[in-house]
Chain A
């Protein structure tokens, strides 16, 4: 049981480049989440998916898009990366919306 996995672990982008962060969970959870965490700060919710086929905006959705590919996978896309998107990105899942969340190891993104 791997729990929540994220790829890549680390990425460097140039301003304007695009990329997709991948997240998968093997706990058969219905709900999934994407957060960002800036240095010394708490987590801010970017998008969430209450169940397969649904996605909703969180606190800071601008500059991001998401896809709930299936029940296991929830990807986060940066269409045109900006230095302000330099952060650590965490994916999480829970059995139902707002139940206990299980987090992945994070993806460290540096945008130059």
Chain B
């Protein structure tokens, strides 16, 4: 089970790029890296997922180095509405409907965007 380590909190200003790094030293070969965002009083929401190198969607980019022992979520030009908790998860996506569910949410990174 790949344990993840993230900073507890970060502050940023509107318009800046924010990078949140997640450490997962014992990531396994079949493991994917997934990031979720959670606003207060809401359930988490999927942001992005990747296996290696770089993944980009309309919301964020995910950078994964060759050794895959860490990953960085990049949020371009944040706004006040990006204030949320961000969770990094690592787990095997190939379980289908069998096997053991191995994702652990952890405590996440609390991002505060300031005006």
**Once the chains bind, are A105 and B42 in contact (CB under 8 Å)?**
yes
Is A43's CB under 8 angstroms from B101's CB?
A: no
Q: Which residues of A contact B103 (CB under 8 A)?
A: 45, 98
Is there contact, CB below 8 Å, between B106 and A42? yes
Tell which of A33, A99, A102, A104 touches B93, judged by Cβ atoms closer than 8 Å: A99
- Among residues 58 to 99 in chain A, which have CB atoms less than 8 Å away from a CB atom of chain B? 58-59, 90, 92, 96-99
Quick one: closest A residue to B95, CB to CB?
A97
A: number of interface residues (CB 8 Å): 30
Q: Are B106 and A97 in contact (CB under 8 A)?
A: no
Q: What residues on B are CB-neighbors of A44 within 8 Å?
A: 105
Report whether B101 and A45 are in contact in the complex, using a CB–CB cutoff of 8 Å. Answer: yes
Q: Which of B15-23, B44-52, B74-82 touches A?
A: B44-52
Q: Which of B24-62 contact A (CB under 8 A)?
A: 34, 36, 41-46, 49
Is A105 a contact partner of B97 (Cβ separation < 8 A)?
A: no
Cβ A98 vs Cβ B49 within 8 A: no
Given contacts A42-B87, A90-B43, contact A98 B97 (CB under 8 A): no
Interface centre among A50, A51, A92, A106 (most CB of B within 10 A): A50
How would residues 20 to 43 of chain A score, 1 for a CB under 8 Å from any chain B CB and 0 otherwise? 000000000011010100000111
With known contacts A35-B105, A50-B97, A100–B49 Cβ distance under 8 A:
yes
**Closest residue on chain B to residue A52 by CB atoms:** B97
Choice from A31, A33, A42, A92 contacting B97 with Cβ under 8 Å = A31
A97–B101 touching, CB < 8 Å: yes
> Which of A35, A48, A54, A103 is the most central at the interface, judged by chain B CB atoms within 10 Å of its CB?
A103
